[in-house]
């Protein structure tokens, strides 16, 4: 339906006042630049329709996906059909909630009924699930429009998103560089205004690493707070699912919908879901922040300088900071779990597709002895049960403040060259993976840029189930800075760097499609 016809259709159902508001709608080319909250407000006030938002995002994907390779599958017709149905509900005054009519991306290890879910692999290239993952179901029920499936590191087993059967995800700030992983496509898509938010998964940093490298907000909630049922697993004991968005407010809005108990998910925790947006704008002056020195070892100079400035500002916003010590993490990888899913694939599994993994992105490998697995599992449960007491209560702090990653992104060519020799590089260990072990709610948001214009991420962590407070401090920091407002300089006519044959061979036949 043409835009003018849609406006007439909506006006007929909404009356003269609504017709006047529709005349004030944003130019369609500007719609993708709205934050999720802004888009939601325009849907609610009927200044714009779900179809207009969806078409604007689809146009943006068509322009920029050939540059960044953030999407494996674009659900164009399905998204438009969903948008048209939601537009009718909007016209009738029936909104399902703040996500009504909002285009959202899903990492391609999150199952979607009737739409392929590949986990970035050749093995699952023809996998079409019969049912939605629980998070997919919740998003659709809330009126979100699933616009496509985002590219990712194969089986979520690495921290770069360069090793994918569907080609490497490219960093929107510099196409020669990695976007981070394993949820690189989700972060790049959000950074380039292809959708208003996306879901990622995080086993060793896979939401936070690409969010930091792409200059957006990524939130890993408390372990078990969001269902992982229907998500291709890497390591169940460490797998998390959470939102990637442009602002802290947007992340809170998505988390509100996907959080909650799922009795069919053995990892799910049964606690009431608070109003996450209540943390937005809440006072933070009473909070104390902890600085764990172990997270600051080996920082690149530009990351160190950005963190110094960020901590100085946070000290002004709160009661101040102090050094804290973290509990030791010994053998909590539960690495054997990743083999269970691969064994279930049987003869259909394409060997070698988890190349390029490591501590920064996941932890799908590991011991196969039952006794080792049981020991790892017990250690993991113990550290999660005691971390709140050992860190926050005994040391009298409310948050941990750390760099998200310790170094700036490197080139895709370098990464794929390493993968070709089974020497894949990952971000320096410690700043993301350990927080999956602890299971703590952790958000990353931009805190500066390098001299070359690359974003740098600040990580804020709180006690278990303290998402609302984490959001409050993250929002206070966001409001005191302008880092989150900066946009990648990528232009529609940008040339995509050509990979060497050796590097291209690591990305699968689809690179030449």
Assess whether pLDDT exceeds 80 at residue 340.
Answer: no
Chain segment 406-434, per-residue pLDDT in tens: 999 999 999 998 766 666 566 565 699 99
The residue among 461 and 425 whose pLDDT is bigger is 461
Locate 237 and state its tokens: 């004991």
The residue among 132 and 504 whose pLDDT is bigger is 132
- Whole domain around residue 450: which residue ranges? 3-512
Q: What confidence score (pLDDT) does residue 289 get?
A: 98
Report percent pLDDT > 70 for the chain. Answer: 85
Q: What confidence score (pLDDT) does residue 210 get?
A: 98
How many other β-carbons are positioned within 10 Å of the β-carbon of residue 372?
16
The residue among 424 and 290 whose pLDDT is bigger is 290
Distance in angstroms (rounded) separating the CA atoms of residues 411 and 178: 6
Any bridge partners for residue 177, and if so which? 411
SS3 breakdown of the chain: % helix, strand, coil, rounded to 5? 40, 15, 45
* Least confidently predicted of 82-86, 107-111, 271-275, 412-416: 412-416
Chain segment 1-29, per-residue pLDDT in tens: 444 444 444 444 434 333 433 333 445 66
Assess whether pLDDT exceeds 70 at residue 159.
Answer: yes
Q: What confidence score (pLDDT) does residue 331 get?
A: 63
Count up the domains in the chain and report the number.
Answer: 1
Assess whether pLDDT exceeds 70 at residue 365.
Answer: no
pLDDT band at 363 (very low <50, low <70, confident <90, very high): very low
In CATH, what number is assigned to the domain containing residue 341? 3.90.1300.10
Assess whether pLDDT exceeds 80 at residue 396.
Answer: yes
Assess whether pLDDT exceeds 90 at residue 43.
Answer: yes
Any bridge partners for residue 245, and if so which? 197, 217
For the segment 264-288, the average pLDDT, to the nearest whole number, is 96
**Mean pLDDT, the chain, whole residue set:** 89
Assess whether pLDDT exceeds 60 at residue 504.
Answer: yes
pTM of the model: 0.92
Q: What confidence score (pLDDT) does residue 13 get?
A: 43
- For CA atoms 484, 451, 458, 214, the dihedral sign is positive
Q: What confidence score (pLDDT) does residue 334 get?
A: 59
The residue among 200 and 508 whose pLDDT is bigger is 200
Assess whether pLDDT exceeds 80 at residue 506.
Answer: no
Assess whether pLDDT exceeds 80 at residue 513.
Answer: no
DSSP at 106: E
Assess whether pLDDT exceeds 90 at residue 372.
Answer: no
Place of tokens 């006519």: 493
Distances (CA, A) of 159 to 33, 45, 194, 233, 358: 27, 41, 22, 16, 7
Which residue numbers are catalytic?
A: 107, 182, 206
pLDDT band at 354 (very low <50, low <70, confident <90, very high): low
Q: What confidence score (pLDDT) does residue 425 get?
A: 61
Distance in angstroms (rounded) separating the CA atoms of residues 189 and 147: 11
* Largest Cα span, the chain: 71
pLDDT band at 192 (very low <50, low <70, confident <90, very high): very high
Assess whether pLDDT exceeds 60 at residue 362.
Answer: no
Distance in angstroms (rounded) separating the CA atoms of residues 326 and 344: 37
């Amino acid at each position: 339906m043409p835009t003018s016809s849609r406006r007439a259709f909506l006006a007929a159902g909404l009356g003269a006042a609504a017709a006047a508001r529709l005349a004030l709608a944003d130019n369609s080319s500007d719609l993708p630049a709205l934050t999720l909250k802004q888009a939601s407000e325009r849907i609610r006030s009927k200044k714009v329709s779900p179809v207009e938002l969806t078409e604007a995002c689809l146009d943006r994907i068509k322009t920029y996906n050939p540059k960044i390779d953030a999407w494996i599958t674009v659900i164009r017709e399905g998204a438009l059909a969903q948008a048209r149905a939601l537009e009718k509900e909007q016209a009738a005054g029936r909104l399902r909630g703040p996500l009504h009519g909002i285009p959202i991306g899903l990492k391609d290890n999150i199952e979607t009924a009737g739409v392929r879910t590949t986990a970035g692999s050749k093995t699952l290239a023809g996998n079409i699930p019969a049912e939605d993952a629980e998070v997919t179901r919740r998003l659709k029920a809330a009126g979100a429009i699933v616009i496509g499936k985002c590219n990712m590191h194969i089986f979520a087993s690495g921290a770069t998103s360069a090793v994918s059967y569907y080609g490497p995800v490219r960093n929107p700030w510099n196409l020669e560089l990695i976007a981070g992983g394993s949820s690189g496509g989700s972060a790049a898509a959000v950074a380039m205004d292809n959708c208003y938010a996306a879901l990622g998964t995080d086993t060793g940093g896979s939401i936070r690493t690409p969010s930091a490298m792409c200059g957006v907000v990524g939130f890993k909630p408390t372990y078990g707070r969001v269902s992982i049922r229907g998500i291709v697993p890497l390591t169940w004991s460490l797998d998390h699912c959470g939102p990637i968005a442009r602002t802290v407010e947007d992340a809170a809005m998505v988390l509100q919908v996907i959080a909650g108990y799922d009795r069919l998910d053995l990892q799910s925790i049964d606690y009431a879901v608070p109003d996450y947006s209540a943390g937005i704008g809440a006072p933070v002056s009473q909070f104390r922040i902890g600085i764990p020195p172990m997270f600051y070892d080996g920082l690149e100079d530009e990351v160190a300088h950005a963190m110094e400035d960020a901590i100085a500002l946070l000290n002004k916003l709160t009661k101040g900071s102090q050094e804290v010590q973290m509990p030791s993490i010994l053998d909590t990888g539960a690495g054997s779990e990743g083999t269970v899913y691969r064994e279930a694939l049987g003869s259909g599994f394409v060997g070698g597709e988890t190349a390029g993994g490591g501590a920064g992105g996941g932890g799908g490998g590991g011991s196969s002895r039952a006794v080792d697995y049981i020991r790892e599992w017990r250690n993991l449960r113990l550290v999660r049960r005691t971390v709140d007491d050992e860190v926050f209560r005994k040391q009298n702090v409310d948050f941990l403040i750390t760099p998200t990653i310790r170094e700036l992104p490197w080139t895709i060519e370098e990464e794929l060259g390493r993968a070709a020799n089974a020497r894949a590089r990952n971000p320096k260990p410690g700043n993301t993976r350990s927080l999956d072990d602890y299971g703590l709610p952790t958000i990353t948001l931009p805190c500066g840029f390098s001299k070359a214009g690359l974003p740098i991420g600040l990580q804020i962590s709180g006690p278990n189930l303290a998402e609302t407070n984490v959001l409050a401090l993250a929002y206070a920091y966001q409001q005191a800075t302008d880092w989150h407002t900066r946009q990648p300089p990528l232009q529609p006519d940008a040339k995509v760097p050509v990979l060497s044959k050796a590097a291209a061979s690591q990305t699968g036949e689809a690179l030449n499609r």
